[in-house]
Amino acid sequence: MGKLTAAFVKNAKPGKYGDGEGLYLEVKPNGRGRFFFIYQHAKKRRELGLGPTSIVPLANAREHASAAKL
C-alpha cells in the first residue's frame, strides 16, 4: 500500500486514484476530494466512505481502510 502521497492528495486533479489494497481517492471537478474503500461482500462490490480530504489525512484513511479489511 502507499502509491499516493500527501502532496499528491493536496494537489490532485479531478479523477479517481488508487492507493492500493482497496483505498481510493476521488477528486470532483469542484476540487473537493474524498477517500473511500472498495470491498466485496456477498459477491457484490461495495464502497465504504472514509471521509473528505479536507478532514481526513491520507495516513488516517490508510488506517481506516486497513481496519475495514478485518
39-53 per-position pLDDT tens digit: 999 999 999 999 999
Residue type (1 letter), 56? V
Please give the Cα distance from 38 to 22 (Å, whole number): 5
Residues 6+ apart with CB under 8 A from 18: 3, 24, 25
Rounded CA-CA distance 43/8 in Å is: 33
pTM recorded for the entire structure: 0.92
pLDDT band at 1 (very low <50, low <70, confident <90, very high): low
> Residue 70's pLDDT band (boundaries 50, 70, 90)?
confident
Tell me what pLDDT residue 28 has: 98
Other C-beta atoms within 10 Å of 26: how many?
17
The stretches of 1-70 forming alpha helices (DSSP H) are: 6-11, 58-68
